Amino acid sequence: MGRRQFGSVRRLPSGRWQASYTHRGHRHIAPLTFLTKADANAFLSSVETEIRRGQWLDPVGAKVVFSEWAAQWAATIVDLRPSTRARDLGYFERYILPRFGVTELGAIDHMAVRAWIADLAETGLAPATIVKGAQIMGKIMRAAVQAGLIASSPCDGMRLPRIERREMRFLDPGEVMSLANSIDPRYRAAVFLAAYGGLRAGELFGLRAKRVDLLRRTVDVSEIVVDVGGHLYVGPPKTSAGRRVVALPRVTSEPLADHLKANARRPEDFVFTDPEGGPVHLNAWRRRFWAPAVYAAGLAPLRPHDLRHTAVALWIAAGANPKEVATRAGHTSVSFTLDRYGHLFPGSDQRLSDALDALAADSDSVRSSTGSDTSEALRGRTLRARIAHEQDAADTAQQSETALTSGNNSGRNRTRTCGLSRVKAAL
């Protein structure tokens, strides 16, 4: 019998057999000794097969302490934006490290993770916070699987709390005007740009003068500013869909033109700056300028992001279809737009139902007059119903667009979360 090509066995003074092998530059000794040499050789054969199949696990990998592995994992994160990285590490330090920091990876099983999630829920944490923490824990443990430290992730198949979607807040044009008139004049145009253009806060304060085309009444969203722990990061939008050109109504372009005229800006300068002329730090701006204006306008509570929700609601009320909304808002897909804002399209749904009723009534009329199904007549009525439906939608959109640019100041609905009957009335 020839000499083994993988690993080696030796007989111990006790008479039992010990198996060892070298892999990835390290010598590994079998965790147990064997009664016979054949048993030791069988162990080595199984290890060799696992290596060839890519299923080998480092015998000491499961003994690595979680905090040590998490530190290695965090040092290799290269695909996250600074703000996202800071957010994830914050969740890790607050909710994950205190529970699993000194535990060996191999000792963290499915039930340990389930118990951790249940304990977080009992503390009263929001479901969204628990879900985000569990997702980060899942990333860490999947990385351990990929590194060959553990066989499978204890987070796989974990059931998480249901996230109840937060009700969205919309303003009507009158409330937008009231807020714009209440805020520091240097940010008046910013309110209109957010409420009618749908720019996120980072996009708003990352907008440079050269990206504004007053002749065409457009802004080119190409950069964002993110405030991470008091440090500002400037970069491109998070997704390719976020890079977009947004057309503006006159209710926005005219205040923006006045702002640029009153505040001389070089092409590379930010359109909106802090009082000292530097870039806006969102957290400080929110405390210093946003909150006082919201209370002065009688609109509290209101977040800056609610102006983006307002923009989408106004676009839909003015007749925009889901594709137009997704493009203007910088959403990655129309499906996201429909999932988030689909309930704001009641008008088109009702027109569709009316057209179906008209089609059914025409079909019954044809059958009663001819005694049979006349397919040509039915197709003709189908076409007329579709044309009537599309014309109705076009007329509504035209009327709303005309009213949208007029800047009507009426209306004060502070608790709307769905249904735009009052918004449409204000438009």
Evaluate whether residue 253 is within a structural domain.
yes
Quick one: 373 and 247 in the same domain? yes
**Cis status of the peptide bond prior to 185, with omega within 30 of 0:** no
Tell me: do 223 and 244 sit in the same domain: yes
Q: Are both 20 and 42 inside the same structural domain?
A: yes
Do 368 and 421 sit in the same domain of this protein? Answer: yes
Residues 183 and 137 both lie in one domain: no
CB-based contacts of 288: which residues, under 8 Å, 6+ apart?
A: none
Residue 2 included in any domain: no
pLDDT, tens digit only, all 427 positions of the chain: 455 678 889 999 999 999 888 887 778 888 789 999 999 889 888 888 877 877 677 777 788 999 999 999 999 988 788 878 888 999 999 999 999 999 999 899 999 999 999 999 999 999 999 999 999 999 999 999 888 888 889 999 888 998 877 777 889 999 999 999 999 999 999 999 999 999 999 999 999 999 999 999 999 999 998 887 778 888 888 888 889 999 999 999 999 999 999 998 899 999 999 999 899 999 899 999 999 999 999 999 999 999 999 999 889 888 888 898 889 999 888 877 777 776 676 555 566 677 677 777 776 665 565 554 445 554 555 555 555 555 555 554 454 444 444 444 433 344 343 333 333 333 3
Q: What share of the chain is helix, strand, coil (3-state, %, to 5)?
A: 55, 10, 35
**Could you tell me if 304 and 377 lie in one domain?**
yes
Number of separate domains in the chain: 3
36 in a structural domain: yes
Does residue 307 sit in the same domain as residue 342? yes
CA R_g for the chain? 31
Do 34 and 129 have their domain in common? no
For residues 274 and 187, state if they share a domain: yes
Domain identity same for 289 and 427: yes
Answer whether 145's CB lies under 8 Å from 156's CB: no
23 with 98, same domain: the answer is: no
| Residue 26 and residue 101 in one domain | no
Residue 325 domain flag? yes
Annotate 6-32 with three-state secondary structure: CCEEEECCCCCEEEEEEECCEEEECCC
Domain range for 50: 8-56
What pTM value is reported for the model?
A: 0.63
Sign of the torsion angle spanned by Cα atoms 189, 191, 197, 199: positive
DSSP-derived 3-state class of residue 230:
coil
Look up the CATH number of the domain holding residue 92: 1.10.150
Q: How far apart are the first and last CA of the chain?
A: 92
**Largest alpha-carbon pair distance within the chain?**
106
